[in-house]
Amino acid sequence: MSTETTNEKTIVLDQDGHLANREDWTEELAQDLADHEGVGELTDRHWDVINYIRDEYEKKGDAPSIRKLTKESGVSTKELYKLFPKGPAKKAAKVAGLPKPKGCI
Amino acid sequence: MKRIVILGAGTAGTMMLNKLSKALDPKEWKLTIVDKEEDHYYQPGFLFIPFGLYKKEDVIKPKSNFFPKGAEVIYSPIDRIDADQSTVYLQNDQTLNYDYLIIATGTEIIPEEIEGMKEELWHTSIFDFYTVEGAVALAEYLKDWEGGKMVLNIAEMPIKCPVAPLEFVFLADDYFKKKGMRDKVDITLVTPLDAAFTKPVAAKSLGGFLDEKDINLVTEFNIGRVDNEQKKIVSWDEREVDFDLLVSIPTNMGSKAIERSRLGDELNFVPTDKHTLRSEAHENIFVIGDATNLPSSKAGSVAHFESDILFENLMSAIKGEPLEASFDGHANCFIESGGGKGLLIDFNYDVEPLPGKFPIPGIGPFTLLKETRMNHFGKMGFKWLYWNALIKGRELPLEPQMSMAGKEIPETEKQETKTLNLN
């Protein structure tokens, strides 16, 4: 890759379309992933959600459910769907560089 | 005198009481069980009530039939647990001190969690079948129903008995066929999951049954509200599904007493060590059955397997020994598929339901993940086993740990990665 094309990046995704290697994630990449997912420009509210689920993942090894997220992050379900349209649990995990939430059994 | 208090006398609590009563010296240990209701419900039977296959009487017996002699039984709602003081406060003003506490308070449906669910259509065009009242009301309604759009909706996961919604639509298909009106009924299963079931191999074969039976499947639908006027359910991302008859599996939550005691997670389920079954927060509290937050199914079979492990670990705790018994998440469920047939699935935390055979000593092998008559008889015969052996804590020819014997491991599909170019 030449220095002229620093804006061009190639990253590896897993079978679910989530980032395959968590260490590839940067705040800058989050915006690229958001663009790719149709989430658009990341606002402070997006970052509240992203930071919260990254913290939870660190602690629990899984991204939180929507119910936990809305209860603990201060973002309502309605707002969450506005921020990450169509499936916020998965979309937010993708942008945050986390694997597909295991969810429930 | 030392004391063990069991909160909840459903399947899990009653099994534990019976096991402990056999093992502990009554001169040394007092056993107390608390429940708000005097009736014991055979909950796997609720599924059959809407279709007239069981009546209310088939699923209810007095709880007192199943308690061992000598146990103290208190019928009262629980106010709260003060875990730091090892004390339980009951709503009848009794106060119970304990050396060990077993929480077996289960889960219940909370339709109020969904906007518009429990309004004018509740139990007139919207029914549940997770309560005996809901199942009976639905049976009455279906008797005279002339057909239309039947929608079965799972509000959110986790739910008790994750296969029940599938069984419900399979049995509905069979019921309307037998009534000669299947062509007048449109059946749709609407789920927040991305497939018919939580686990991929089983989801594939169960999804195949839906196609065969002409049952529609709507996936990744997270219900936001019920529109009572226009009779439709609306998802948070504004997708809509019309219904004439909505059968709902509302949000499942743990007991309010757990919330009042601040011992639960966001759904009032108690954070529990997934292997030892001890509360994560308190050394003298164990948790069993639907009340836990374990990543296993909320089902009677799970409670049964857990009861063996919990019993062993509680005995170790009493002796001051390390807790060595380890729960593997084992679940074993018959799935009624209609037409007098059924399937069987057997799985744990790590192994998803697989095809093959399931050997039971003295009874014979059942077939896994395939429709057979024997699986149906297994399901129907289970009621007898439940009332006569299971909740009395008798030994069944089933090991708590899942076995791989008989299971066929399908070739795993290669987990493809892909690359994404960003610019």
The ranges assigned to domains in chain A are 2-95
Both structure tokens of B206: 């169960």
Nearest to B423 among A7, A14, A78 (CB): A7
Nearest to B419 among A10, A68, A71 (CB): A10
Residue B159 half-sphere exposure, CB side, CA atoms within 13 Å?
26
Amino acid of residue B178: K
Would you call A81 an interface residue with chain B, using a CB distance cutoff of 8 Å? yes
Closest A-chain CA to B251:
A67
Closest B-chain CA to A32:
B422
Residue A2 pLDDT > 50: no
Closest B-chain CA to A90:
B220
CA distance B5 to B23: 15
| Other CB atoms within 10 Å distance of the CB of residue B168 | 24
Nearest to B417 among A12, A35, A36 (CB): A12
| Res B37: pLDDT | 97
Closest approach of A4 to chain B, Cα-based (Å)? 13
Query: Beta strand pairing status for B240-242 and B78-82?
Result: unpaired
| Res A4: pLDDT | 39
Closest approach of B221 to chain A, Cα-based (Å)? 9
Among A37-41, A84-88, B108-112, B413-417, the least confident range: B413-417
| Res B217: pLDDT | 97
The predicted complex's ipTM stands at 0.81
Residue B237 to residue A36, Cβ atoms within 8 A: no
Max distance between CA atoms of chain A, in angstroms, equals: 48
Average pLDDT over residues A72-80: 90
Would you call A2 an interface residue with chain B, using a CB distance cutoff of 8 Å? no
| Res A94: pLDDT | 93
**Residue A104 annotated among the catalytic residues of the structure:** yes
Closest approach of B409 to chain A, Cα-based (Å)? 20
Both structure tokens of A67: 């119910």
Domains and CATH numbers, chain B: 2-109+254-319 (3.50.50.60), 111-252 (3.50.50.60), 331-422 (no CATH)
Query: What number of C-beta contacts closer than 8 Å exist between A and B?
Result: 72
Would you call B350 an interface residue with chain A, using a CB distance cutoff of 8 Å? no
More confident residue, A36 or B17: B17
The mean of the pLDDT values for chain A is 85
Q: Decide: residue A4, CB within 10 A, 0-12 exposed, 13-18 middle, 19+ buried.
A: exposed
Both structure tokens of A9: 């990046």
DSSP-assigned letters across all residues of chain A:
--GGGTT-EEEEE-TTSSBS-GGG--HHHHHHHHHHTT--S--HHHHHHHHHHHHHHHHHSSPPPHHHHHHHHS--HHHHHHHS-S-HHHHHHHHTT-PPP----
Would you call A59 an interface residue with chain B, using a CB distance cutoff of 8 Å? no
Nearest to A105 among B266, B297, B421 (CB): B297
Mutate to test the interface with B, among A69, A76, A79, A104 (most CBs of B within 10 A): A104
Residue A93 pLDDT > 70: yes
Residue B423 to residue A87, Cβ atoms within 8 A: no
CA distance A65 to B253: 14
Is the distance from CB of B353 to CB of B347 less than 8 angstroms? yes
Q: With beta carbons under 8 A apart, name residues in chain A contacting B222.
A: 66
Would you call A38 an interface residue with chain B, using a CB distance cutoff of 8 Å? no
| Res B135: pLDDT | 98
Is the distance from CB of B241 to CB of B226 less than 8 angstroms? no
Question: Can you say how many angstroms the Cα of residue B419 is from the centroid of all Cα atoms in its chain?
Answer: 41
Closest CA to B63 of B35, B85, B87, B89: B35
Residue A81 to residue B417, Cβ atoms within 8 A: no
- Kindly give the confidence (pLDDT) of every residue in chain B, 423 residues in length, as a single tens digit, with 9 standing for 90 and above: 999 999 999 999 999 999 999 999 999 999 999 999 999 999 999 999 999 999 999 999 999 999 999 999 999 999 999 999 999 999 999 999 999 999 999 999 999 999 999 999 999 999 999 999 999 999 999 999 999 999 999 999 999 999 999 999 999 999 999 999 999 999 999 999 989 988 888 998 899 999 999 999 999 899 999 999 999 999 998 999 999 999 999 999 999 999 999 999 999 999 999 999 999 999 999 999 999 999 999 999 999 999 999 999 999 999 999 999 999 999 999 999 999 999 999 999 999 999 999 988 777 789 999 999 999 999 999 999 999 999 998 888 788 999 999 999 887 666 677 777 776
| Res B141: pLDDT | 98
